[in-house]
Amino acid sequence: MNTLPEVPLSRREMLLGLGALVVGAVVPLPGRSGRLLGAEAATGPLVANAFVCIAPDSTVTVLSPNIELGQGPFTGLATLVADELDADWSQMRAAHAPADARLYANPTFGVQGTGGSTSMYVGYESLRKAGAAARALIVAAAAQSWDVPAAEITIERGVVRHAGSGRSGSFGDFVAPAGQLTPPAEPVLKTPDRFIYIGRPLPKLDTRAKTDGSAQYTLDVYRDDMLIAVVAHAPKFGATVASFDDAAARRVRGVVDVRGTDFGVAVYATSTWAALRGRQALAVRWNEAAAELRSTAAIEAEALALVRSRGQVAAERGALDAALAAGHQLIEAEYTFPYLAHAPLEPLDAVIERRGDLIEVWMGSQIQTGDQMVIAQVCGVKPGQVRLNTMLTGGSFGRRAQQGSQFAAEAAAVFMAAGGRRPVKLFWTREDDIRGGFYRPQMVHRLRGAIDAEGRIVAWEQVIAGRSILTGSTFEGAMVNGIDQTMVEGAADLPYAVPNLQVSVHVTKSPVPVLWWRSVGHTHTGYVVETFIDELLERAGKDPIAGRIELLADQPRMAGVLRRVAEISQWDSPPPAGRARGVAVVYSFNSWVAEVAEVSIGPAGEPRVHKVWCAVDCGRAVNPDIVAAQMEGGIGYGLGAGLYGAITLDEGGSVRQSNFHDYRSLRIGEAPEIEVAIMPSAERPTGVGEPGTPPIMPAVANALRRLTGKPARQLPLVQRG
């Protein structure tokens, strides 16, 4: 699979061999060359621009504005730079860029942050330009040093050459002179026919460090004199600390302090175990006046009552009521979706330390600008005094991209409550994570569809009720006409040509905090749209794939992935005995993904997914192997949640689940074989981190309906007794 040599990951501290302090002092200025403060002119690296740093030893470090959560931006962005720079892949390194919105804001959100599967889409322009600008500097410096015309200089795999004079050199040779030059304002980019790396399955830059234990995550940061803190969080959403007795906690060997904070009672200790035992020994009384005391069953019943009537209209066309009344066949269906925790394998954590006027932070920050501002506020300093080190992170799936930066605020509050002098690592246990809220919202949909006498789908009514992620958040400005698009995306823009349609929403309220979860609204709209259309097509006597394609006349790329997935799954040949196949296709994050799942019923009565075929159109695949890996991961993540995942609240409002024994995760024996086909494309690269997730559950459910004769309209499919 991999054809090029593996390259070691260079950690920030190792960057340029100059030590962490100097790295933190990188002052890259866009549009002109800069230097590392304090570095000797003769030995310093070339900071070609905000994204590219070339060391005297010729290694090229790409500073990634995006956090590396496992989706591969380190490798993808380095590929874009290496291609324009004509570097050798073995000289490429990647590190997280510092938190600095002026240099690294994501144009999608206007702040530095990672989300919406945008890293390659954005970087395809900015990082290629950065690579081309760095190349221009090297060429100009070589031309000057050799006293030859720049146009006669070539670069191939990191070797700079002038054929006429027979001279050659490497990037490092020109780092010093290039630092004196001004890079071009508008560097010329390669035409795609000259790409050397883009489109090839280069090995990932961070794999080696992730196989020998050397990759550093936030949890691995240990500072001198550091305290480890855990917080006793409220057992119900919206409850606050009324009073607490810490006498027993303080008697635990290793516990050094206990403090009340807005987030709960913090226990500080010299070791993790002492902190955990100290927390166990706490006695806290909670004020539940503002708490959610209802069960999830009660919340669901409320939403089910709401969807009986139409809500605020998000999309409308044709004459729905007339079409429903005139329909030859009418189908009605109600769907329910539970709260879901993201459960990244590394729970939330952060390390904060004061160094002179600076507050230094290590965390898996997904919205650096927001986290930096909130930490500054809590610590009483300016955002520029917060030096935020974005760390490699054990997954996120949306969890670390908090509008409002509540976790960063908690870390800062816990640091300050202990005096703000000793370094503090705040550590959430799995229980804190599973019970910590910021869930995928619990949702309910009600569908009505009509088919006319000729078998045409003529009416589609969809009423959605549930929590809004954006309402009241710092991203409220992204609402359109007062409607949170994350509630209706994928439904309001139904891709199928149904002439009469209405999609409407009811927004419910609760103190349970909600958040985007890998693929956001598509987690539920994709399921509903793709299982309901499948039922309608079945009633109309149509093949699931051919029937969909008929309704996608003006959606060539969607039809394209359907045709491709039909080919690779041999859709027209029957599945093995006892198995059935189902299909689904979803457009999300500017990419199209179709999946076919082959399913049987296992010995314990649980669905067993044997094989999944996936066709993806994500524009130009910068690294096809990473695209395939993201499809595999997105499928596995969606499948585990759809089969087993649910966060439920008891009567009284306590979360029932607490850890992986009752918040069940997909395991290896339940993971299907996956085959991915990537559509060839010359379009700009689009999302891959999320789009693999939405189609898997409807594809599985459609296969199951063929096996059992019954539609599955409640998730998770495997319900607990």
Contacting residues toward ligand FES, per CB under 6 A: 70, 345, 395
Neighbours of 571 (CB within 10 A): 19
**Sheet of 153-156, strand order:** 153-156, 159-162, 167-170
Mark the segment that binds another protein (CB under 8 A) among 106-114, 217-225, 531-539, 547-555.
Answer: 217-225
63 interacts with, out of ligand FES, another protein, none, CB within 5 to 8 A per kind: none
Q: Determine, following the binding rule CB under 8 A, whether residue 273 of this chain makes contact with another protein.
A: yes
Interacting residues with another protein between 425 and 464 (CB under 8 A): 429-430
501 interacts with, out of ligand FES, another protein, none, CB within 5 to 8 A per kind: none
Phi and psi (nearest 5°) for 144?
A: -65, -50
Interacting residues with another protein between 332 and 361 (CB under 8 A): 343-347
Binding mask 608-627 for another protein (x = CB under 8 A): -----------------xx-
Task: Dump the DSSP string for 28-75.
Answer: --TTS-B-BTT--TTT--EE-SSSEEE-TT--EEEEESS--SSS-HHH
CA-CA distance, 104 to 73, in Å (whole number)? 14
Mark the segment that binds another protein (CB under 8 A) among 198-206, 323-331, 476-484, 565-573.
Answer: 198-206
624 interacts with, out of another protein, ligand FES, none, CB within 5 to 8 A per kind: none
| Between 212 and 357, CB nearer to another protein | 212
Q: How far is the CB of 700 from another protein (least distance, A)?
A: 15
| Between 254 and 511, CB nearer to another protein | 254
Q: How far is the CB of 636 from ligand FES (least distance, A)?
A: 10
Q: Determine, following the binding rule CB under 8 A, whether residue 216 of this chain makes contact with another protein.
A: yes
Mark the segment that binds another protein (CB under 8 A) among 68-76, 134-142, 230-238, 415-423.
Answer: 68-76
343 interacts with, out of another protein, ligand FES, none, CB within 5 to 8 A per kind: another protein
List 73, 383, 441, 640, residue binding another protein (CB under 8 A): 640
Q: How far is the CB of 200 from ligand FES (least distance, A)?
A: 23
Q: How far is the CB of 642 from another protein (least distance, A)?
A: 13
Q: How far is the CB of 392 from another protein (least distance, A)?
A: 7
List 17, 30, 199, 203, residue binding another protein (CB under 8 A): 203
CA-CA distance, 103 to 107, in Å (whole number)? 11
DSSP state of 258: E
600 interacts with, out of another protein, ligand FES, none, CB within 5 to 8 A per kind: none
Phi and psi (nearest 5°) for 532?
A: -70, -40
Q: How far is the CB of 410 from another protein (least distance, A)?
A: 18
**Residue 626: helix, strand or coil by DSSP?**
helix
Q: How far is the CB of 313 from another protein (least distance, A)?
A: 37
Q: How far is the CB of 395 from another protein (least distance, A)?
A: 4
Mark the segment that binds another protein (CB under 8 A) among 230-238, 266-274, 354-362, 593-601.
Answer: 266-274
| Between 400 and 467, CB nearer to another protein | 400
CA-CA distance, 256 to 440, in Å (whole number)? 37
Q: How far is the CB of 500 from another protein (least distance, A)?
A: 39
299-306 contact pairs (CB < 8 A, 24+) = 299/442, 299/508, 299/510, 299/649, 300/336, 300/442, 300/444, 302/508, 303/442, 303/443, 303/444, 303/465, 303/466, 303/506, 303/508, 304/334, 304/336, 304/444, 304/465, 306/444, 306/463, 306/465, 306/506, 306/508
| Between 160 and 626, CB nearer to ligand FES | 626
CA-CA distance, 456 to 542, in Å (whole number)? 10
Q: How far is the CB of 672 from another protein (least distance, A)?
A: 8
Binding mask 368-397 for another protein (x = CB under 8 A): ------------------------xxxx-x
**Sign of the CA dihedral running 148, 151, 152, 156:** positive
144 interacts with, out of ligand FES, another protein, none, CB within 5 to 8 A per kind: none
**Cβ–Cβ under 8 Å, residues 135 and 189:** no
661 interacts with, out of ligand FES, another protein, none, CB within 5 to 8 A per kind: another protein
The encoded tokens of residue 454 equal: 């000729």
| Between 11 and 713, CB nearer to another protein | 11
Phi and psi (nearest 5°) for 636?
A: -65, -40
**Residue linked to tokens 């992204």:** 478
The amino acid that residue 459 corresponds to is A
The amino acid that residue 514 corresponds to is V
Task: Judge residue 720's burial from the number of C-beta atoms within 10 Å of its C-beta, 0-12 exposed, 13-18 middle, 19 or more buried.
Answer: exposed
List 13, 217, 256, 650, residue binding another protein (CB under 8 A): 217
The number of residues that bind another protein (CB under 8 A) is 63
The encoded tokens of residue 88 equal: 């050798």
> Among 3, 40, 38, which Cα is nearest to 21's?
38
| Between 70 and 338, CB nearer to ligand FES | 70
Strands 255-261 vs 312-317: parallel, antiparallel or unpaired: unpaired
CA-CA distance, 28 to 98, in Å (whole number)? 10
Q: How far is the CB of 274 from another protein (least distance, A)?
A: 8
Residue burial 62-92, b: 16+ Cβ < 10 Å; e: rest = bbbbbbbbbbbbbbbbbbbbbbbbbbbbebb
**Cβ–Cβ under 8 Å, residues 175 and 160:** no
Q: Determine, following the binding rule CB under 8 A, whether residue 604 of this chain makes contact with another protein.
A: no
First-residue to last-residue Cα distance in the chain: 44
By CB under 8 A, name the binding residues for another protein.
Answer: 1-2, 6, 69-72, 203-204, 206-217, 219-220, 222, 228, 253, 271-273, 343-347, 392-395, 397, 429-430, 625-626, 629, 632-633, 635-637, 639-640, 659-661, 665-669, 671-674
